[in-house]
Structure 1
Amino acid sequence: MQLPNNKKIYFASDQHFGAPTPELSFPREQKFVAWLDEVKGDAEAIFLLGDLFDFWFEYKTVVPKGFIRILGKLAEIRDSGIPVYFFVGNHDLWMEDYFQKELNIPVFHDNQEYTFGDKTFLIGHGDGKGPGDLGYKRMKKIFTNPFFKWLFRWLHPDIGVKLAQYLSVKNKLISGDEDVTFLGEDNEWLILYSKRKLETKHYNYFIFGHRHLPMKVTVGENAEYVNLGDWITYFTYGVFDGETFEIKKY
């Protein structure tokens, strides 16, 4: 992807809309919609790196209630011709083809590589990457197993959604959430993961969410690990102008 003059690529992650309740989440949703409305003016593309919703499950004919302003704004942006890319997180890992069919937004379940100008990127949500986090990795295999997804689909949505929302907030093993404090370069799994990836292939930027902690860390020669933060505490996002990557606060 080549960036025309005065165009930028935007990145955001970990909005967790719907948490802790729809009512308390609503002001954050309004703020995010305002941000989308602002960045569409010079966006060449927008990347959403997961956990847009605190819970999401697609039944064959039903999706979770709410979020209409966000979905409407994303539809407007796509209809205007601006590409939007979505990477599932650990809270919306049951997303399938609703975004693709209704909004024309591709959905990715793992990291993807991109080249913007002369810079190479590895982009993903970041859950389950790197060493450690073995309990969550085992749980994720269960949650993404087609048989268990089929069993869950037999629950009435009023029961299934309520149960999943409760577990999403209460059970950190299921949610995969980590403490939002910097653990040091030797203990941050995504930093270790990025350094390990550099052993086999060079990237200029590793862009992830999941940690809810905005940071930029040099992981190699001309290589940086970036975490986008969140839209709960920090309201931060990433922007690439063709030359440099910045984390900004909205």
Structure 2
Amino acid sequence: MDIPEGKKIYFASDNHLGAPTMEKSLSREKHFVAWLDTVQKDAAAIFLLGDLFDFWFEYKTVVPKGFTRTLGKLAEITDAGIPIYYFVGNHDLWMNGYFEAELNIPVFHEPQQFKLNKTSFFIGHGDGLGPDDKGFKRMKKVFTNPLSKWLYRWLHPDLGVKLAQYLSVKNKLISGDDDIKFLGEDKEWLVQYSRRKLEGEHYDYFIFGHRHLPLEIDLNEKSKYINLGDWVSYFTYGVFDGELFSLKKY
């Protein structure tokens, strides 16, 4: 992707809209929409790295209600010709065509490689990557199993959404948010994962969410690991101007 002069690429992750309740997340949603309105002015593209919602499940003809401000703004941006790329997180694994059909937003279920100008990026949400985290990896296999999803769709949406929202907040194994603390590079699984990826191929930047911590860590002299933080506590985002990547707060 070539970035036109004067334009920038923006990145954000982990809004968890709807948590702990729709009412309490409303101010955060309005804040995020205001940010989208601001970056729309000079965005060449926007990357959203997952967990936009604290829970999202697409039935055949039903999606969770709410989030009208966010969805409307995303539609406005893509209608204006600005591409948005979405990477599912561990809270919105069950996307299945709604964003593509209604918002014209491609959805990725695995990390992807991008070249922005001459800079190489490896981008994803980050859940289930790296060593350990075995409990969540097993749980994710259950969640993404086609039979599991088919069975879950037999629950009435009122029951299915309410149950999932409760588990999303209460069950740390499901949420993946058990330990939001920086305990050193050797304990950061995504840092270890990135370093292993570098053994096979060079990337200038590894961009992830999931950890809820704004982090910038040098992997070697030419590669950097970035975690975008979140829109729950930090309200941080990433911006790439065609040459350099930086973390900022809104």
User: Fold match, TM over 0.5?
Assistant: yes
TM-score, normalised by the number of residues in structure 2: 0.99
Counterpart-to-counterpart distance in 2, 1:178 and 1:236: 20
Aligned pair 1:36/2:36, yes or no?
yes
1:1-250 matches, cutoff 5 A:
1-250=1-250
Q: Kindly state the Cα deviation for residue 183 of structure 1 after the two structures are TM-superposed.
A: 1.5
- 1:9-59 Cα deviation digits (max 9, x unpaired): 000000000000000000000000000000000000000000000000000
Q: Which runs of 5+ in 1 are unaligned?
A: none
Aligned equivalents of 2:161 and 2:51: distance in 1? 16
- How high is the TM-score relative to the length of structure 1? 0.99
Q: Aligned-pair distance for 1:88?
A: 0.2
- CA distance in 1: counterparts of 2:146 and 2:19, whole angstroms: 26
1:177 offset after TM fit, Å?
1.6
Amino acid at match of 1:214: P
How far residue 221 of structure 1 moved from its aligned partner, in angstroms, is: 2.5
For the residue of structure 2 that corresponds to 1:220, the secondary structure is coil
Q: Which runs of 4+ in 1 moved over 6 A?
A: none
Query: Secondary structure at the residue paired with 1:9?
Result: strand
Task: Determine the C-alpha separation between the residues in 1 that align with 2:178 and 2:164.
Answer: 19
Distance (Å, rounded) in 1 between the aligned partners of 2:25 and 2:88: 20
What is the CA distance between 1:118 and its match in structure 2?
1.1
Whole-Å Cα distance in 2 between the matches of residues 50 and 95 of structure 1?
11
User: Would you say the 8 A contact 1:229–1:236 is kept in 2?
Assistant: yes
SS at structure 1 position matched to 2:135:
helix
CA distance in 1, matches of 2:111, 2:96: 16
> In the aligned structure 1, how far is the partner of 2:142 from the partner of 2:3?
40
Matched letter for residue 160 of structure 2: G
Give the letter aligned to residue 187 of structure 2: N
Asked whether the equivalents of residues 178 and 211 of structure 1 are also in contact (C-alpha less than 8 Å), the reply is no
| CA apart distance, 1:216 | 0.4
Structure 1 residue 178: Cα displacement: 3.4
Alpha-carbon separation, structure 2, partners of 1:14 and 1:3: 25
Q: Which runs of 5+ in 2 are unaligned?
A: none
Residues in 2 aligned to 1:95 and 1:172: alpha-carbon distance in whole angstroms = 21
Bigger mean CA deviation after superposition, 238-247 or 176-185: 176-185
Counterpart CA distance in 2 for 1:181 and 1:175 is: 15
Amino acid at match of 1:156: H
CA RMSD, aligned part only? 0.5
CA contact (8 A) 1:239 1:247 kept: yes
For residues 197 and 106 of structure 1, what CA distance do their matches in structure 2 show? 24
